[in-house]
Chain A
Amino acid sequence: MLWVDKYRPKTLDQITVHQDVAQNLKKLVNEQDCPHLLFYGPSGSGKKTLVMALIRQMFGPSADKVKVENKTWKVDAGTRTIDIELTTLSSANHVELTPSDAGFQDRYIVQEIIKEMAKNRPIDSKGKRGHKVLVLNDVDKLSREAQHSLRRTMEKYSSYCRLILCCNSSSRVTEAIRSRCLNVRINGPTEEQIFKVLEYIGKKEGLQLPSGFASRIAEKSNRSLRRAILSFETCRVQQYPFVSNQAIPPMDWEEYITEIASEIMKEQSPKRLFQVRGKLYELLVNCIPPEIILKRLLYELLKKLDAELKHEVCHWAAYYEHRMRLGQKAIFHIEAFVAKFMSIYKTFLISTFG
């Protein structure tokens, strides 16, 4: 098993990084009045782990008996029926799903499927009326319409259905939804905390950790615990006994973006733009989300950029990212950013160095 999964805390008590949050949640559940919850925070901070532990706390071991279903729903959308494919992870008391997977049809998922799920009231074996929990991932990626449809569902069925929403950025969740939830901010773990976790894992696995190695991983992880553990294990697979100056391998796609960035810096010409387009296509085809590509590309470019251009370039990156979300064909927008960057940078180079 991967270490990320192996050392994932199973209960609220086991949780170390966000202990305070965990304890509060525990109290909340024990008082039997759990409101809708909205967890937000950067990826790799432990939202999902907390949610799973919370559910376990609520329903006991039955929460572990999950089944995965990937089925096609037929949704009647006025004039036609739409087939929507959706993966759900469900136990007797909770259902977990990612509505934004349906892309721009997420509205129908919220309007039809989630409503259906919320409507049905589970009945305990003892005849007691329980409540069920819907876990929705990536709510910030839901379209505006879908979020609007969601808020009615939240109110109407709130007597026996709780929603737990997970997202990275609360600013992309509408005000209306935020106000209906108890917002829980999950910070990214500090490097210190990551370092501790890594050491813990190292001890459990019986590894020799050279001094500074774990802290270096923690540093490179960008405060994402998952990232840190994954790269820790990658290092382990690559080379064991660790050396203190061992290279921490980047993700394959990150490496590729670094390459692209240095190519862009080296030459700004239509020809190069064309080559870059090919590479961007490759990243997209390999299912790397375009926002991440753009963000990473900007990051790599900024590393090599003169200070006076940074501001402008960041502005344009934000501009094009925004437009990318409005649009549909991500490549057009990323390419527009690259073209813009090339234009700016070339002008800068020539005006500076002639």
Chain B
Amino acid sequence: MGDIRKWFMKAHDKDNGSGSKKAKPAPSSLEKSASAGKTGPSGGESAGRQITSKYFASEKQEAKDAEETEVLPIIRKSPRDTKESPAKRKFQKYNEESPKASPLKKSNKVDDNDDDAVLSSSKKNMSEVTPNKKLKSGSGKGITQKPVEIEASDDEETKGTDSSLKPSGRGRGGKGSSAATIGGRGRGGGRGGFMNFGERKDPPHKGEKEVPEGAPDCLAGLTFVISGTLDSLEREEAEDLIKRHGGRVTGSVSKKTNYLLCDEDIGGRKSSKAKELGTGFLTEDGLFDMIRASGKKAPPRQDPKKSVVKSEESPTKKNFQKVQAKSHKDLAAGASPAKQKSGTAEFSNLTWTEKYRPKVPNDIIGNQSLVKQLHDWLAHWNENFLDVGSKKKVKKASDSGAKKAVLLCGGPGIGKTTSAKLVSQMLGFEAIEVNASDNRGKSDAKIQKGIGGSNANSIKELISNESLHFKMNQPKHHKTVLIMDEVDGMSAGDRGGVADLIASIKMSKIPIICICNDRYSQKLKSLVNYCLILSFRKPTKQQMAKRLVQVANAEGLQVNEIALEELAERVNGDMRMALNQLQYLSLSMSVIKYDDIRQRLLSSKKDEDISPFTAVDKLFGFNSGKLRMDERIDLSMSDLDLVPLLIQENYINYRPSAVSKDDTGIKRMDLIARAAESIADGDIINVQIRRHRQWQLSQSSCVASCIIPASLLHGQRETLEQYERNFNRFGAWLGKNSTFGKNMRLLEDLHVHILASRESCSGREHLRVENLTLFLKRLTEPLHTLPKDEAVKTVVEFMSLYSISQEDFDTVLELSKFQGRKNPLDGVAPAVKAALTKAYKEASKTHMVRAADLIALPGMKKAPKKRIAAILEPTEDTVEGAGGETLVESDDENSVDNEGEENSTNGQKLQLELQSLNKKGMQVQLDLKGVEDSSAKKSGGRGKGGRTSQASEKKGGRGSGSATKRKR
């Protein structure tokens, strides 16, 4: 169950990602406007830089606010404007102030510059600077309540984890961050993925509504619960939207919940509970309005009415909260001295992954039970395997001790190596790590040669030497454990590495810990049997976020917990990556928001594979018009073969949103025609790519076969047939093509048989296009019209004339089958069919065998290989003894004749084979003899019996010869 669930979770994650991509343009445009207003950094700068500027903007604003409160208090109409994005606010502030307060601005500028200078010059000491700054602004504003609020709004996010200390008092203060809510979130994550998979309907107006953009934290502090199907958003999209605007999404309704987001489905458990608790209901449109309101109306004027919810918020509360948070922060800092800021400065050259590597096993996130298991195994290793000396087999009492080595497996960055090291360290083992950077090939069998530089030999040495140690009764002195890291990375350079490792395990006197990423790797198949397998799981995002918060606090970063959870989710359980990303982010900013993480990780997200279906969904989605070109290329490149097929299969189903009014459908038809032409272009390009290896064209192929059709027709999907599910179909081409291939082979069989009959010499194409109709008539018509016996006789005669076998009969039927046509055998009495089969079998014993695959070989159900056709002629000369010799010779000659060098050697080989295979050959001959005997009689009466026996014998030989060859 765990695995499946994980899988689905992953799928769910992907969906989340999709939402993010769509949502992406919103913040960036916002930023752009901000930066444009500031005239500072140009809009085209990298995301990181922009974020930085944003950060500075907020700093500036704070400073300005401080001054404002003294000089121009009137301007601040209400405390609520903290809800606005700082950048916007600033912009607007400038607008308002610029006429009056230009000197002020100047002073601000100076201020800012100072800040900047400090920030950029001493990045290492940033953690120190930040609190300073905070102190400054805090002290500056501490007098009045309002400025504190501003500060609080920033702080609030970072303090999420320390919720337990927060007052859960009024309204929304503690709401988002209480421990209970976190649990709820966890369930929320699972819920979207597995539980309701396939159960919930699609939103009725999926992708039809414009998703609004609002101020980034307009929903801050609000907690939502989503119930039922929304009108246009997928659950995941809605979740994403809320999170992006700073809100929380939980799984179940509680007192803390502000809104129950639902469009229908009133009456479920959630809604009843919500009614009980008096939680507000909110429709999707309502949500959009909320966001839109903050986004649109806010910048020009701070309208007190714009956010009803937020007005409830009381300044006092915020203040209190902030103080609380601050004190808590100090507390936390004091609690773990190791992570103090002084420490930061000292070790700043260390990467965080090293710095915050767990120091004791309990620090390891997740997988505690596995760590425990590993610990037990290692602790008991000596008694299990060494104390009993040579009689290892006797002691197999405890399961974990039964295997001499352990194999830790799991994805990268989840702490395998760390656990192995920590556990051995804790138990006082000396860990010797051998990883992919060392050559791990097969050791020389002769260790006597000495270590001689070969690492493998030194391993051998190590494990065998240890036994010496042991014999010398010094077990306590040098306890060693061998950690073989990255065993699945043993590749071409490490020849025989795994086998050698197994050998080592068998003879080892020291514990061996192997570590791998993929335990199902082909290379490790043999190893798995010798190891105790401990599969590490990814830590949950809550677990990770908790740890990340610790790190962030220690480094003096202000990060909101939602953002960290997002980070944890994005890196897919890879703690190392999360830390690296966090460190990178910390270089440019000290306050990290949800959006920053999203943006930062957008690129790394792409590396994760999206299913072709998801890609096609996105390409055709309502919002796909907003996708950037490179995103589209990435989507269509996710599977270069499958995505174009899916597009081709489904493009007809989309009602293009580009066409506004189209009563007659002309426009749509026109778009479809254009899309179809573009798809055909893609096919042509694809031929160039595949056949002529012009891979540089692959982007053009993407554009032609995926992007153009998708951009022409993206919109809402509709069904074309009744009862069709409104999902993208799998491309039919693959299936049809394979059926086509099969039918082509069948047709070729038929063709060969007919050619072999020598009555006809038409080509395969003509056979199908022109002759087949008549063949069908000749084969089936008599069964309808003539009386049974006569009909059967006519048909069988016709079949034997053209060497049509029963399979070919079916082929003829199969190939002329069309939808809506009745089967030509309908209405034929079963008795007639049975008689036909019987008669055919009867006749096949007597009629001439002309193609090798028509011969039944003894002990074989089917002909050896279909379609090695050769002609078997009736021979008068049925003496078996001579048959073997002439057969070989003639065959040899034949192949030299017209197949050239390559085959002449073949022929010789065949000769040898035949000689060695005399026995089998004879058997075949014997069987053929029966056939030939009887057919000889028949051919006596036939006009064509006059062929020279020599020639025919030759052919007979060929046929059986190849047959024998095949048989082998």
Given A284-B736, A340-B676, are A2 and B770 neighbors across the interface (CB < 8 Å)?
Answer: no
Chain A 2-16 per-residue mask, 1 if CB under 8 angstroms from chain B, else 0: 101100000000000
Q: Which residues of A contact B665 (CB under 8 A)?
A: 268-270, 346
Q: Which residues of B contact A333 (CB under 8 A)?
A: 680, 683
Q: Say which one of A30-38, A150-158, A183-191, A320-328 lies at the interface with B.
A: A320-328
User: How distant is the Cα of A57 from the Cα of B816 in the complex, in angstroms?
Assistant: 38
Q: Which of A229-269 contact B (CB under 8 A)?
A: 230, 233-234, 237-238, 249, 251-253, 256, 259, 268-269
B825 at the interface (CB under 8 A from A): no
Contact, CB under 8 Å: A2 / B755: no
What is the distance, in angstroms, from B847's C-beta to the closest C-beta of chain A? 14
Q: Name the residue of chain B whose CB is nearest to the CB of A249.
A: B773
Q: Which residues of B contact A200 (CB under 8 A)?
A: none
User: How distant is the Cα of A71 from the Cα of B958 in the complex, in angstroms?
Assistant: 13
Given A253-B769, A288-B769, are A238 and B781 neighbors across the interface (CB < 8 Å)?
Answer: yes
User: How distant is the Cα of A285 from the Cα of B664 in the complex, in angstroms?
Assistant: 34
B275 at the interface (CB under 8 A from A): no
B371 at the interface (CB under 8 A from A): no
Chain B contact residues, majority secondary structure: helix
Contact, CB under 8 Å: A286 / B818: yes
B720 at the interface (CB under 8 A from A): yes
| Among candidates B666, B676, B677, B761, residue contacting A350 with C-beta atoms closer than 8 Å | B666
Contact, CB under 8 Å: B684 / A70: no
What is the distance, in angstroms, from B901's C-beta to the closest C-beta of chain A? 8
User: How distant is the Cα of A119 from the Cα of B771 in the complex, in angstroms?
Assistant: 35
Chain A 270-292 per-residue mask, 1 if CB under 8 angstroms from chain B, else 0: 11011001110110111111001
Contact, CB under 8 Å: B774 / A233: yes
A315 at the interface (CB under 8 A from B): no
| Among candidates A70, A286, A327, residue contacting B869 with C-beta atoms closer than 8 Å | A70
User: How distant is the Cα of A226 from the Cα of B820 in the complex, in angstroms?
Assistant: 28
| Among candidates B690, B751, B766, residue contacting A226 with C-beta atoms closer than 8 Å | B766
Q: Which of A276-319 contact B (CB under 8 A)?
A: 277-279, 281-282, 284-289, 292
What is the distance, in angstroms, from A124's C-beta to the closest C-beta of chain B? 13
B821 at the interface (CB under 8 A from A): yes
| Among candidates A251, A271, A282, residue contacting B720 with C-beta atoms closer than 8 Å | A271
Given A87-B752, A286-B816, A331-B736, are A270 and B652 neighbors across the interface (CB < 8 Å)?
Answer: yes
Q: Say which one of A17-25, A60-68, A169-177, A211-219 lies at the interface with B.
A: A60-68
B634 at the interface (CB under 8 A from A): no
Contact, CB under 8 Å: A251 / B770: yes
A159 at the interface (CB under 8 A from B): no
**Interface size (A, Cβ < 8 Å)?**
85
Contact, CB under 8 Å: A284 / B740: yes
User: How distant is the Cα of A237 from the Cα of B669 in the complex, in angstroms?
Assistant: 45
A223 at the interface (CB under 8 A from B): no
B819 at the interface (CB under 8 A from A): yes
User: How distant is the Cα of A346 from the Cα of B672 in the complex, in angstroms?
Assistant: 13
Q: Say which one of B159-167, B199-207, B892-900 lies at the interface with A.
A: B892-900
B912 at the interface (CB under 8 A from A): no
Contact, CB under 8 Å: A120 / B897: yes
What is the distance, in angstroms, from A197's C-beta to the closest C-beta of chain B? 16
Q: Which of A71-91 contact B (CB under 8 A)?
A: 71, 74, 85, 87, 89-90
B732 at the interface (CB under 8 A from A): yes
Contact, CB under 8 Å: A268 / B676: no
| Among candidates A96, A230, A332, A342, residue contacting B773 with C-beta atoms closer than 8 Å | A230
Contact, CB under 8 Å: B680 / A336: yes
A339 at the interface (CB under 8 A from B): yes
User: How distant is the Cα of A253 from the Cα of B821 in the complex, in angstroms?
Assistant: 11
B591 at the interface (CB under 8 A from A): no
| Among candidates B755, B758, B951, residue contacting A87 with C-beta atoms closer than 8 Å | B755
Q: Which residues of B contact A4 (CB under 8 A)?
A: 760, 762, 771
User: How distant is the Cα of A288 from the Cα of B767 in the complex, in angstroms?
Assistant: 10
User: How distant is the Cα of A8 from the Cα of B958 in the complex, in angstroms?
Assistant: 29
Contact, CB under 8 Å: A70 / B732: no
Given A270-B669, A285-B740, A288-B768, are A339 and B760 neighbors across the interface (CB < 8 Å)?
Answer: no
B838 at the interface (CB under 8 A from A): no
Contact, CB under 8 Å: A251 / B778: no
Q: Say which one of B99-107, B427-435, B479-487, B742-750 lies at the interface with A.
A: B742-750
B826 at the interface (CB under 8 A from A): no
Q: Which residues of B contact A67 (CB under 8 A)?
A: 870-871, 955, 958
Q: Which residues of B contact A327 (CB under 8 A)?
A: 680, 683-684, 686-687
| Among candidates A122, A284, A339, residue contacting B897 with C-beta atoms closer than 8 Å | A122
Q: Which residues of B contact A324 (CB under 8 A)?
A: 680
Contact, CB under 8 Å: B763 / A252: no
* Interface of A toward B, CB cutoff 8 Å: 1-2, 4-5, 43-44, 48, 52, 64-71, 74, 85, 87, 89-90, 92, 95-96, 98, 101, 104, 116-117, 119-120, 122, 137-138, 224, 226-227, 230, 233-234, 237-238, 249, 251-253, 256, 259, 268-271, 273-274, 277-279, 281-282, 284-289, 292, 320, 323-324, 326-329, 331-333, 335-336, 339-340, 342-343, 346-347, 350
Write 8 A-B pairs (CB below 8 A) sorted by A numbering: A64-B758, A65-B951, A68-B755, A68-B756, A226-B770, A286-B768, A286-B818, A326-B687
* Interface of B toward A, CB cutoff 8 Å: 648, 652-653, 664-666, 668-670, 672-673, 675-677, 679-684, 686-687, 690-691, 720-721, 732-733, 736-737, 739-740, 743-744, 747-748, 751-752, 755-756, 758-766, 768-774, 776-778, 781, 801, 815-821, 850-851, 867-871, 896-902, 947, 951, 955, 958
